[in-house]
A and B are shown apart, each in its own frame.
Chain A
Amino acid sequence: MAVIIVILVTIMVFSAMRLLPGDPLEIFIGQSAGMGQMTEDVKEQLRHEYGLDKSPVIQYFDWIGGVLRGDLGRSITYRDSVGTLMAERFPITLHIGLVAFVLGNIIGIAMGIIAALRRGSWMDSLVTMLSYIGISIPVFWLGFLLMYVFGFHLKWLPISGYVSPFDDFWLSTKHIIMPVICIMITGLAVIARQTRSSVLEVSQQDYVRTAWSKGLPERAVVAKHILKNSLIPVVTLLGIGIGIIFGGSVLVEQVFAIPGIGRLLVTSVFQQDYVVVQSGVLVISFIVIMSNLIVDISYAWLDPRIRYG
C-alpha cells in the first residue's frame, strides 16, 4: 500500500512542477548575467542536456529511473547534482530535527503524565495553558521572539547560522537551541495533550481500580497499569511528528538562516529549480510515509488487542 502511495506522490510532484508558469530554462538564462544573448542553438543544447525536449511522460520515467538508481537529477540553478546538494543539507536538517523529535516527545509525554496524575492542580493548568500556546504560536514568530531575547538582548546564543557538531560541539549546540525549541514546540504540545487525555481515560478503567484496590503502591499502578496502556495512542502521533518537523524546518530554517533542506526547498521554489523541488519533496514525503508505515506496524505490535485480534 505504501508503494502505491509513494508512486502517487511522485506523479503529483512531477505534474505539479510541470505546471509551474514559465520555461525553467528561460528563467535560468534570465537570471544568469551575461547569458542573455544566448543563441537558439545553445539553448537547444541546454534543453537537450536537461532532457527538457522530451515528452513529459518520458521525462517522468527518466526521473523515476534516475531516482531508483540513486540519481536525483541535476539542479539548473546550482549546476550541481541534486544528490550532492541534498547530501550537504540533509544532515543539518536531520541533526536539528532528531534533537527536536527526541526532546519534544520526552518532554511532551512527561508533561502530559504529570498533568493527568495531578489533575486540577496548578501543574495541570500550567501544562494545559502551555500546550494551548504551543499549538497556537506561529513558529517563525516564536523564532523572532527567542532571537530578540536571547540573541540581541542577553547575547547568550548566536542568532543565525549553523556549525557542525563535529567541528565544535558546544558552538553547534548553542546554534541549534533556538531552532530546536521552535521546531519541537508544536509536536510537544500535541503529544502533551494526547498523553494527558489518554492517561485520564485509562485511569478510569476497571483494571486500574482493581490495581488500586489490591493495594499496589502508586508507582506500580502508574507505571505498569496506567502508562503502559495510555501510551499506545500516543505512538500514533509520532508519525505525525515527523511531518511536523519537516514542515517546521521550512519555516524555521528560513528564520535562523540555517542551510538545511527546508531552506533549499524554499529557495528552489522561488528560483523555479524544479529538479531540486521535485526530488526534495519526494525524499521528504517518502520519509513521512515510511515513518507512518512504521508507526502503523508498531501500533499493531504494541497493542495486544490488535495483535491477537
Chain B
Amino acid sequence: MTNNPNKVTFYESPPRISEWRRFWRVFLQRKLVIIGLMILLILVITAIFAPWLASYDPYRGDPYDALAQPSAKHLLGTDIQGRDTLSRLIYGARMVFIVGFVTTGFAATVGVTLGIIAGYYKGITNMIIMRIMDALMGFPMIILALMLAAILGGGIQNVIIALSVAMIPGYARILHGLTLSIKENDYILAQEAMGSSGRRIMFTHILPNSLPVMIVLITLQLGTLILAEAGLSFLGVGIKPPGAAWGAMVADGYKYLTTNPVLSFAPGFAIMLVVFAFNLVGDGLRDALDPRLRGLL
C-alpha cells in the first residue's frame, strides 16, 4: 500500500470556479484524452475529405494488380479484386460515422425517452417498459443484432435499425435509474407542487439534469456500437458489398492471411483504434463531469 490515505483533502464546499473551466481543465489535463481526441479528429478529417485523400477508387480495382503486396504504389497493398486497401479504409471511415451517429441518434432518443418515462411514472408503465427492456437485454447484443439483421436483410439502413434496437435497452436502463434518483430532488417536488405537467417536468427538468450522464454514455456506447457493427459485417450480415465496411474487410482478408496478412490486419487495427479513442474520451468525460469528484480533481 504505497498510496497514502491521508493525501485526500476534503473541502467544506467545492472551490468557487466556473463549472466550464473546471470541466475543460480536468478533461484536457490527461494525455490519454488528448490522444483519443486526436485519433477522432483524424478520423473525422479522413471521413470528410475521403475523395481527396484516397488515391484510388475504393470500389473499382485493377484486376491485373490483384493481391499486390504493400509498395509505394499501394501503401497497404490491394485485395483480390485489385482494389487499393488504403483507399477502402479511408472510405470505410465514412461508414463508421454514418452507422455510428445515425444508430446512436435513434437508440439514444428512443432509449432515453423510454427510460425517463418508465422512471417518472411508476406502476404499470414502468413495469411494461422495463420488463421489455430486461427481455431485450437477455439476448447477447450481437445475437440480437444478428437475428434482426437476418430478418431485415443486409444493407446499411437495416444494419442501423438492427443495431439501434439492440442498443436501446442499455440507454433505457441507465436513464431509468437516473430518473429515479433525480426525482427525489426538492426542485422536482417544487415543480409538482406548482402543478407542472409530467411532460414538462420530464423534459425541462429531468432530461437536462441527466445530460452529463448521457454524454458519457453515448461516447462509451459508440465504441461498443462500432465493435458490434464490425462483428455483423464480419459475419456477413452487415453493409453489402461493394461498400467498404472495415469488419467485412477483415473477413475478406482472412482468406489471404498467409500471403497478404495486411489485408485483414489494417482494417482490424483501424477498428481497434477508433473504439479505443471513443473509450479514452468517454472515460475522460466521465471523470470531468462527475459531480462527486468536484473539488477532488
Across the interface, name the chain B residue whose C-beta is closest to A129: B32
Contact A140 B135 (CB under 8 A): no
Whole-angstrom distance between the Cβ of B272 and the nearest chain A Cβ? 5
Other-chain residue from A132, A141, A269, A277 in contact with B268 (beta carbon distance below 8 A): A141
26 A–B contact pairs at CB < 8 A?
A5-B138, A21-B151, A117-B2, A118-B2, A133-B272, A133-B276, A138-B227, A138-B271, A140-B251, A141-B250, A141-B269, A144-B254, A148-B257, A148-B265, A204-B8, A208-B5, A243-B140, A244-B140, A246-B143, A250-B235, A269-B150, A269-B237, A281-B147, A284-B139, A285-B139, A289-B138
In the complex, are the beta carbons of B146 and A5 less than 8 A apart? no
Q: Does B45 contact A (CB under 8 A)?
A: no
Known A8-B131, A138-B227: A144·B143 in contact at CB below 8 Å: no
Q: Is the Cβ of B272 less than 8 Å from the Cβ of A141?
A: yes
Query: In whole angstroms, what is the CA distance A243 to B138 when docked?
Result: 8
- Closest residue of chain B to A247, judged by CB? B140
Q: A137-B272, A247-B140, A250-B235 are in contact. Are A16 and B2 (CB under 8 A)?
A: no
Alpha-carbon distance A96/B293, docked complex (angstroms): 41
Q: How large is the interface on B (under 10, 10 to 19, 20 to 34, 35 or more residues)?
A: 35 or more
Determine whether A72 belongs to the interface, using a CB cutoff of 8 Å to chain B.
no
Contacts of A170 in B (CB 8 A): none
A5 with B134, Cβ < 8 A, contacts A140-B231, A141-B272 known: yes
B163 at interface by CB-CB < 8 Å:
no
The distance from the CB of A155 to the nearest CB of chain B, in whole angstroms, is: 12
Expressed in whole angstroms, the Cα–Cα distance for A247 and B166 within the complex equals 13
Could you tell me which B residues sit within 8 Å of A by CB distance? Answer: 1-3, 5-6, 8, 131-132, 134-136, 138-143, 146-148, 150-151, 153, 223, 227, 230-231, 234-237, 247, 250-251, 254, 257-258, 261, 264-265, 268-269, 271-273, 275-276, 279-280
Nearest A residue to B251 via CB reads A140
Give Cα A121–Cα B2 distance, bound, in whole angstroms. 10
- Report the separation of the CA atoms of residues A5 and B251 in the bound assembly, to the nearest whole angstrom: 35
Q: Are B150 and A9 in contact (CB under 8 A)?
A: no
Contacts of A270 in B (CB 8 A): 150, 236
Nearest 6 CB-CB pairs, A to B? A141-B268, A247-B140, A8-B135, A285-B138, A136-B276, A136-B275
* B residues less than 8 Å from A244 (CB atoms): 140
Closest partner residue, chain A, to B237 (CB atom): A269
Contact indicator A147/B146 (Cβ below 8 Å): no
Q: Does A119 contact B (CB under 8 A)?
A: yes
Is the pair B223, A269 in contact by a Cβ cutoff of 8 Å? no
CB closest residue in chain B, given A2:
B134
Chain A proximity of B160: nearest CB distance (Å): 17
Q: Residue A100 at the B interface, CB < 8 A?
A: no
Nearest-CB residue, chain B, relative to A116: B3
A254 interface residue (CB < 8 Å to B): yes
**CB-based nearest B residue for A186:** B227
CB distance from A202 to the nearest CB of B (A): 11
A276-307 at interface with B (beta carbon < 8 Å): 277, 281, 284-286, 288-289, 292
Produce 1/0 per residue, A223-260, CB < 8 A to B.
Answer: 00000000000000000000110110011001000000
State the CA gap A17–B148 with chains docked (Å). 9
Known A-B contacts A21-B151, A117-B1, A250-B142; A136 and B272 likewise in contact (beta carbons under 8 Å): yes
8 Å CB contact of B3 from A12, A21, A203, A266:
A203
| Residue numbers in B under 8 Å from A147 (CB-CB) | 257
Please, which residue of chain B has its CB at the minimum distance from the CB of A269?
B150
- Measured in the bound complex, the distance between the Cα atoms of B152 and A20 in whole Å is 7
How far, in whole Å, are A117 and B150 apart by their CA atoms in the complex? Answer: 47
A135 CB within 8 Å of chain B: yes
With contact pairs A8-B135, A132-B280 given, residues A250 and B8 touching in the complex (Cβ less than 8 Å): no
Contact check, B235 vs A119: say whether CB atoms are below 8 A apart. Answer: no
* Contact (Cβ within 8 A) B135 A144: no
- In the bound assembly, the distance between CA atoms of A243 and B166 in angstroms comes to 14
Chain A CB count within 10 A is highest, among B3, B148, B230, for B3
A20–B151 CB distance below 8 A: yes
Residue from B141, B148, B223 within 8 A of A136 (CB atoms): B223
- Within the complex, which residue of B1, B264, B268 is in contact with A218, where a contact is CB–CB below 8 Å? B1
Cβ of A64 within 8 Å of any chain B Cβ, yes or no, is: no
